[in-house]
Structure 1
Amino acid sequence: MRCRTWLHDRGERWAVAQFALSGLAAVAVILVLVLLAVGQRGHDQAVTTAKEVTRIAAHGIAAPNITPALLRGDPAALARFDRIAGDGLVREPVLRIVLYRPDGEIVYSSTPGLIGTRVTPDADMRRALRTGTTTSRVGDPARPDNQLPEGTRLLDVYEPITTPDGGQLLLQSCRRLASVTADGRQMLNTVAPFLIGGVVLLQLINLPLAVALMRRVRRSRRREEASLQQAIAASDRERRRLATDLHNGVVQDLAGMSMSLAAAANTATARGDVETARQLGAVAAESRRTTRVLRHVLVDIYPPNLQRAGLASAVADLLETVRRLDVVVDARLDPDLELPPDLAALVFRVVQEALRNVTEHAGAGRVAVAVQAGEGAVEVLVADDGAGFDVAAEEQAAIVAADGHIGLRLMRDLAEQAGGRLELSSAPGTGTTVRAWVPRT
């Protein structure tokens, strides 16, 4: 029983380990997806903040200071706007600002040398002018107006501005993209510890629940095994009682009757009553035959030498019954095999059921039987050269009693309950093989 409990415990430990590993894998996937989503959300939020800051700066600082002189390119107006830009617009993380006309001419740039040059408005610039909304994009290092320091990437934010004369300009605010990424990372760093901690805590809560559920299943299985053992023990007790009653009652009466009939036949012979002696002798012979049949039945119901002489001797008695039916038997029985009573009875029942199918259904001329000790288990083999049958069709049949194989299925269930297994292989015309493995302890 300790071996079977260990096997069950090992299976339960593996099931708990699988639950924990799969849970951790699921948690890892969820965390990665959620953190990516949070990171993206943080980045989007940082871009939204950059747009809002640019909108406020454009309409609160730049627009009120755009004059006709500035639009004409007056140096004094440009210098004044340059001071205003340096005080309120071009501050970290903003590296520069640019004012464009709708045709792409640069009216003002905080980067020297660009005023008066022209660029081709891209789709983002045109959309901002057309819709009057703020747009953004990652700065293109190849653009002539994007004179970036080595390794610097920019986020360009475009905000349309209405000039005093009713015209339109487009303000471009170029800020470090790393600042936007840093804002997103900051949000991620703020949320991640709580998210990771919550998910790990959930997993830690689930693991004890899984262990408790597994233990409950184990207790239920042990109760089922105990019930099965009690049922088997009750069945053995009932078999023993029935065998004892038959042996001490009907069998003894038949034996006494056959001896009385034989004595009466001898008396009739002595008197010269040949016909009566013949009839009495025939009845006495029939009584002796019936007694032998009943004794064989008693062996099937409860083998008297299973407990007294051991499993090998009990199986040998079964084989003698098969040999009397003119079936060639090839037996390999381990005479020194010692098993607990419940397992010895289980092995005996497996061999008994297999041989019953051989004698009643297979029509076999030869059968091989082996009961030997293997590595940690008892190995049972019963193979015949009989008619065989379709195992798959048999498993699907709704009515099995007529074919007689239900006993083997019951033995399979008992073997599995004992921590072992039983395999049945057969095909029409190829015989039948029954293999069973039962733990030795």
Structure 2
Amino acid sequence: MRRSGERWAVAQFVVSGLAAVALVVVLVLVAFARAGREEAAAAATEVTRITATTVIAPLVDADVLAGDREALARLDARLRTGVLREPVLRVTIYRPDGRLVYSSNPGYGASGLTQPMREALRRDDTYTRVGGPLEPGADVPSTVELLDVYQPVTTASGERLLIESCRRLTAVRADGRALLDRFAPYLIGGVLALQLVNLPLAIVLMRRSRRSLQREIAASDRERRRLAADLHNGVIQDMAGLSMALSGAAAAHQSPELRALADNSRRTTRALRQALVDIYPPNLQRAGLRSAVDDLLQATPLEVAAVLDDELDELPPDTAALVYRTVQEAVRNVVGHAGASRIDLRIERVNGSLDVLVADDGRGFTRAQPRPGHVGLALICDLVESAGGELTVDSAPGDGTAVRARVPVR
């Protein structure tokens, strides 16, 4: 059975990875779309420049410049055959002073050259403009967005002219989208393939991390047992002997000072024994989880209502130690920080797992409030999740706190 903690970690990795992938893809696609539009506009501008200099300019002879109707009709026919077709909607030819030489729209009345158009002529450079038509007509409605390209040319007779080509902007954008559509599948496929390659590596790293954490837990338990044994066989025995010796001396000499020292030594011995239980309860291995939890609850100064499963003493040692630590940390937080008068504890075996509940009637808290003792509980949460379980904390101001854990039993 796969561990739920591992599944959750893998799910988090996949979701966060997909979110990152989606963000990267969106940003790259936006950049590609912009680059595609710019590339399409540049391509359209270059086509217009070449058309103006190599196709249109050679057709403008002296008769066209003189306004000869037959020459203008021949020019119009040639342009409509080879140039004036979608997405090119209009071609206009200007003199440097703004006078009209030719327009594919017979009703077009030139309003003169704008300052950018004059600058293009002066610098002999191509000028582009995006927007609605400067002068709408039957060929170019006012609602149509255009890419206007203005190209200075020189005729065979040396006449300087400015050729305007009005191109439908939607066609330019369609060319940009076509460029995007060509490369987007490769981009998305490559990023998803990278995510799929990283997924097995992430699973391996999480499993190694879990095994490392389990080794650290085992080493921690061994160190706790060693410290507990050293305290029990060393300092605590010495303190117990000192307490008995001081009590005997106080009785023999009727000395209040010795009696006070004996009382202090007994209190110190009890405190050391309680610390011994906190470090590693001796009953946990000798008598089982149920007995260790009973000892823990008896040392609690609050009212306790406990429901403990009858099979708690049959648990594997690692599971018993984890459940004990969970209960110990939760009870410690209640006693130290909750301001409670009662603790409700329930440990039950349900469908292959142990369900643990530690609830109190204390002041509660909100998630936004800093919570004393949360670091220890967070560490316990990591241990529970590394064992394939889950731990949650529910609380609200005035409604107490409930710590729930589910630990798989294997």
TM-score using structure 2 length: 0.64
Counterpart of 1:101 in structure 2 is: 95
Q: 1:76 to 1:436 in 2, by over 3 A?
A: closer
Q: 2:152 aligns to what SS in structure 1?
A: strand
| Kept in 1: contact 2:153–2:161 (CA 8 A) | yes
**Amino acid across the alignment from 2:165:** S
**Amino acid across the alignment from 1:42:** G
Q: What is the Cα deviation at residue 207 of structure 1? A: 2.5
1:21 corresponds to 2:32: no
Q: Percent identity?
A: 37
**Amino acid across the alignment from 1:48:** A
1:229 corresponds to 2:208: no
1:310 corresponds to 2:291: yes
1:320-377 per-residue CA deviation (whole Å, 9 max, x = no partner) reads xxxxxxxxx76647596875574798699889x99xxx9xxxxxxxx98968447843
Counterpart of 2:33 in structure 1 is: 39
| Kept in 2: contact 1:128–1:158 (CA 8 A) | yes
Counterpart of 2:396 in structure 1 is: none
| CA–CA separation in structure 1 for the residues paired with 2:91 and 2:405 | 84
Q: 1:238 to 1:170 in 2, by over 3 A?
A: same
**Amino acid across the alignment from 2:77:** R
Q: 1:29 aligns to what SS in structure 2?
A: helix
Q: 1:310 aligns to what SS in structure 2?
A: helix
Q: 1:64 to 1:346 in 2, by over 3 A?
A: closer
Q: What is the Cα deviation at residue 231 of structure 1? A: 2.5
Counterpart of 1:168 in structure 2 is: 160
> Is the radius of gyration larger for structure 1 or structure 2?
1
**Amino acid across the alignment from 1:230:** R
1:78-98 per-residue CA deviation (whole Å, 9 max, x = no partner) reads 122223323433244323321
| Kept in 1: contact 2:132–2:142 (CA 8 A) | no
1:173-218 per-residue CA deviation (whole Å, 9 max, x = no partner) reads 2223232122111111111111111111122222222222222211
Counterpart of 1:79 in structure 2 is: 73
CA RMSD, 1 decimal: 5.1
| CA–CA separation in structure 2 for the residues paired with 1:333 and 1:207 | 46
Structure 1, gaps ≥5 residues long: 259-277, 320-328, 359-366, 384-391, 396-407, 422-434
Q: 1:73 aligns to what SS in structure 2?
A: coil
| Aligned mate of 2:208, from 192, 207, 216 | 216
Counterpart of 1:189 in structure 2 is: 181
| Aligned mate of 1:201, from 190, 193, 196 | 193
Q: 1:76 to 1:209 in 2, by over 3 A?
A: same
| CA–CA separation in structure 2 for the residues paired with 1:349 and 1:113 | 93
1:257-289 per-residue CA deviation (whole Å, 9 max, x = no partner) reads x9xxxxxxxxxxxxxxxxxxx97999xx99xx8
Q: How many residues are aligned here? A: 351
1:60 corresponds to 2:54: yes
| Kept in 2: contact 1:134–1:159 (CA 8 A) | yes
| CA–CA separation in structure 2 for the residues paired with 1:32 and 1:200 | 13
Counterpart of 2:351 in structure 1 is: none
1:228-259 per-residue CA deviation (whole Å, 9 max, x = no partner) reads 22223444555666699889x979x98xxx9x
| Kept in 2: contact 1:156–1:175 (CA 8 A) | yes
Structure 2, gaps ≥5 residues long: 314-319, 349-354, 363-369, 385-389, 392-400
| Kept in 2: contact 1:311–1:348 (CA 8 A) | no
Q: What is the Cα deviation at residue 221 of structure 1? A: 0.9
Q: 1:380 to 1:187 in 2, by over 3 A?
A: closer
Q: 1:299 to 1:348 in 2, by over 3 A?
A: farther
| Kept in 1: contact 2:307–2:347 (CA 8 A) | no
Q: 1:219 to 1:113 in 2, by over 3 A?
A: same
